[in-house]
């Protein structure tokens, strides 16, 4: 199969011009206007390609179908990516750099020479000599998470339309808003989507095939202090910021994102603010093991209780909310869908890299909503920041994997 790199590159570069940062402080869906604008553009593009039943829901979910070209019945499969980019870093005025025939050495992001992609810091670069890299200019993230996934899906469907000799069953497409702030599945209508199973195209390194993810929760810690003139504070002042620091110190210092790998979970402090009177901490809590995950949440509550006993009732208050759960439980009974994706990668001469996601996707929640949904690579790296980059040749392989899945699924008789 031949997927022209130029076509893929141009499509991706056009997509990243849409600023689609999701907004965690907005309760509406979608949480930002840019996501709707992007969905409307994609709707027109899908129509021009030849897809049918294209709809954008009032909540910003774009769905479409490529009808079957078979005379027999086969499972309906879906492909899902998300419209938004992370609020962790600016996605305004994305200005990509194209590095052709990468020489394997350190190079700057942008002209000011302050940020670099360095193989000594990012060792994955060492295997990419000769590849085409799409990087940031250091002033924004790139948006490969997940505009690379959308590029792969749209390009694969376009290829199938242009090559009607390739047999395929009905294929459903779903582009969701606000995945990056944990709401991507909130208003996803699994029943009307009508797929037997689906794949999120939202992974990173080439070959990634994931059906395990973290159990996830968020915790907001509100600390009430007592502000008194420091000259008269003895026995009276409660410094909320110092209590916040004490709270942090009670968590294990070796269980953070930067000190854990593979199946190891963590507590991640994502935000801290405060003064003497008030302080706030925000954590995300992650673990693949459900029992350890529950114990992590209990530990947060125990620390709050310890500090309340020390400083007085209601000094520390906790808001805790589960976000998603490990989809392994829902995928293992239907492992043939993982095997199919694995075979599709091998057919594309890609070595499957089956490992747990140190995060989550829409697929985690959708799996619990009745739509089993493993995750497949896009060829993007270092998401959510200025060091993000995409390997164009690996994006090609993602497209080829999707086409192979469609082809191989057509051989399954219901």
- In tens, the pLDDT along 3-46 reads 788 999 999 999 999 999 999 999 999 999 999 999 999 999 99
CA angle (337, 343, 347) in 5-degree steps: 145
Q: Give the DSSP letter of residue 369.
A: T
This prediction's pTM:
0.89
Question: Measuring CA to CA, which residue among 50, 15, 9 is closest to residue 35?
Answer: 15
Radius of gyration, CA atoms only, the chain? 23
pLDDT of 173: 98
* Cβ neighbours, 10 Å, residue 2: 7
- Of 158, 178, 179, 208, the active-site residue reads 179
Residue 28 C-beta-side C-alpha neighbours within 13 Å: 8
The 10s digit of each residue's pLDDT in 179-230 is 999 899 999 999 999 999 999 999 999 999 999 999 999 999 999 999 999 9
Domains along the chain with CATH numbers? 5-213+326-409 (3.40.630.10), 221-324 (3.30.70.360)
Residue 176: strand pairing partners: 82
Distances (CA, A) of 323 to 24, 150, 232, 258, 363: 14, 24, 44, 21, 13
CA distances from residue 411 to 168, 223, 404 in whole angstroms, order as listed: 8, 59, 11
**What pLDDT is recorded for position 414?**
64
112 classed as catalytic: no
Catalytic residue among 84, 178, 180, 208: 84
d(CA 165, CA 163): 5
DSSP state of 226: B
Torsions phi, psi of 40, nearest 5? -65, -40
- Confidence at residue 4, expressed as pLDDT on a 0 to 100 scale: 85
Low-confidence ranges of the chain (pLDDT < 70): 414
Which among 349, 414, 350 has a CA at the least distance from the CA of 376?
350
* Helix ranges, 141-278 (H): 144-162, 190-193, 240-249
């Amino acid at each position: 199969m031949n997927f022209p790199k130029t076509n893929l590159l141009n499509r991706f570069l056009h997509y990243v011009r849409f600023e689609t940062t999701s907004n965690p402080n907005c309760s509406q869906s979608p949480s930002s206007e840019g996501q709707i604008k992007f969905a409307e553009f994609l709707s027109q593009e899908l129509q021009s390609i030849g897809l049918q039943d294209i709809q954008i829901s009032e909540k910003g979910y774009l769905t479409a179908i490529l009808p079957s070209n078979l005379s027999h019945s086969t499972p309906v499969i879906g492909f899902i990516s998300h419209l938004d980019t992370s609020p962790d870093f600016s996605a305004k005025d994305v200005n990509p750099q194209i590095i052709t025939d990468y020489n394997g050495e350190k190079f700057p992001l942008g002209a000011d020479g302050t940020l670099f992609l360095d193989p000594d810091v990012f060792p994955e670069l060492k295997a990419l000599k000769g590849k085409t890299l799409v990087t940031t200019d250091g002033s924004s993230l790139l948006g490969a998470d997940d505009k690379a996934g959308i590029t792969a899906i749209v390009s694969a469907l376009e290829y199938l339309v242009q090559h009607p000799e390739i047999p395929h069953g009905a294929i459903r497409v779903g582009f969701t808003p606000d995945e990056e702030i944990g709401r991507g599945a909130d208003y996803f209508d699994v029943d009307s989507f009508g797929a037997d199973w689906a794949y999120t195209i939202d992974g990173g390194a080439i070959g990634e095939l994931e059906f395990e993810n973290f159990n996830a929760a968020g915790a907001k810690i509100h600390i009430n202090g007592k502000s008194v003139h420091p000259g008269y504070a003895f026995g009276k002042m409660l410094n909320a910021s110092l209590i916040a620091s004490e709270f942090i110190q009670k968590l294990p210092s070796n269980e953070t994102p930067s000190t854990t790998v593979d199946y190891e979970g963590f507590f991640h402090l994502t935000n801290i603010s405060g003064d003497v009177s008030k302080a706030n901490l925000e954590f995300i809590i992650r673990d693949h093991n459900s029992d350890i995950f529950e114990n992590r949440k209990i530990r947060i509550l125990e620390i709050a209780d310890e500090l309340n006993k020390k400083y007085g009732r209601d000094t520390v208050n906790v808001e805790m909310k589960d976000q998603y759960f490990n989809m392994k439980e829902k995928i293992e009974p239907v492992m043939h869908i993982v095997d199919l994706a694995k075979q599709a990668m091998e057919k594309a001469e890609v070595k499957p890299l089956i490992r747990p996601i140190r995060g989550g996707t829409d697929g985690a929640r959708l799996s619990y909503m009745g739509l089993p949904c493993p995750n497949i690579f896009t060829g993007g790296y270092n998401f959510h920041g200025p060091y993000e980059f995409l390997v164009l040749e690996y994006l090609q392989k993602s497209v080829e994997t999707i086409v192979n899945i469609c082809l191989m699924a057509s051989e399954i008789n219901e």
